[in-house]
Amino acid sequence: MKSIYSNFCVKASAKIARYRLASSISLTLLCFSSPLLNIATASAQTPNNNNLEETAIEGITDAVSTLIRVLRSENVEARINAARALGGMGTQAKIAQPALMVALNDKQPRVRYTAATAIANLGGDIKIAFPQLLEALQSESKWIRNDAAYALSNVALNLQTIARQLSAKELNQAITDFEKTLEVMEESEFEIPPQAVKSIDNCLDYLKRERLKSIGMGIIAVLALTAIPRNFCSACGKYMI
């Protein structure tokens, strides 16, 4: 009887330890964004706001550093939660991009998908993360699909705002990428958030219009150039306008 009771206590203790570990990870991840942001907000309303702003920045930096370490955890769920938390912090977690890039090669698909979504949300290099985001759209996990869809939507909106600054090559690549995105979304056997689909579709239309405008302006410039009369100057050996 004593042996059975001892085994029961050991098993119970192990379960309690696991629950405490999971709880501490969850609480840590949940606390990273809101309290730190609240500190930053409160700093603007207090006389000694410089110290509070510095504290907020230090706190965010510490949070990002902790999440980066968690990305190397042996616990799959911890790695997923860390990547998702970093993505939720947006550009504040920009320094985590190298670690998230490494996570794109994780053995677990869910970790790769979440890392790709995080890279998109913090404004990182989307070129490398793009294939994983497309795969994430076909994940059985609803929240992974939704996160990836909205991340792609944010990328499309960001490209729309800088469309006129893109080169012809970059514009063509963006259009190709989001045509492929919509194709994957339409063919997915799982539900994709309609708001994200509509947003990407609208952005794609805008990018296509910008491409037509740039092509039209190029044609007009060529026609205008060829229509200008030129006279040959025998003295300088050149055609003069």
Q: What is the chain's pLDDT, residue by residue, as a tens digit (241 residues)?
A: 444 434 434 344 444 344 443 444 444 444 444 434 443 444 444 455 566 556 656 667 888 989 999 999 999 999 999 999 999 888 888 899 999 999 999 999 999 999 999 999 988 778 889 999 999 999 999 999 999 999 999 999 999 999 999 999 999 999 999 999 999 999 999 999 999 999 999 999 999 999 998 876 656 555 555 554 555 555 565 555 5
Structure tokens at 61: 């930096």
Structure tokens at 221: 């410039």
Q: Are 122 and 91 in contact (CB under 8 A)?
A: yes
Amino acid at 2: K
Q: Are 67 and 96 in contact (CB under 8 A)?
A: yes
3-state secondary structure (DSSP) of residue 105: coil
Q: CA 207, CA 162: separation in Å to the nearest integer?
A: 10
This prediction's pTM: 0.65
Q: CA 116, CA 114: separation in Å to the nearest integer?
A: 5
Q: Are 29 and 85 in contact (CB under 8 A)?
A: yes
* Cα angle, residue 24 at apex, residues 20 and 26 outer, rounded to 5°: 115
Q: Are 147 and 84 in contact (CB under 8 A)?
A: yes
Amino acid at 36: L
**Run of H or E including 113:** helix 109-121
Find the Cα–Cα–Cα–Cα dihedral 216, 218, 224, 230, rounded to 10°: -160
Q: Are 178 and 207 in contact (CB under 8 A)?
A: yes
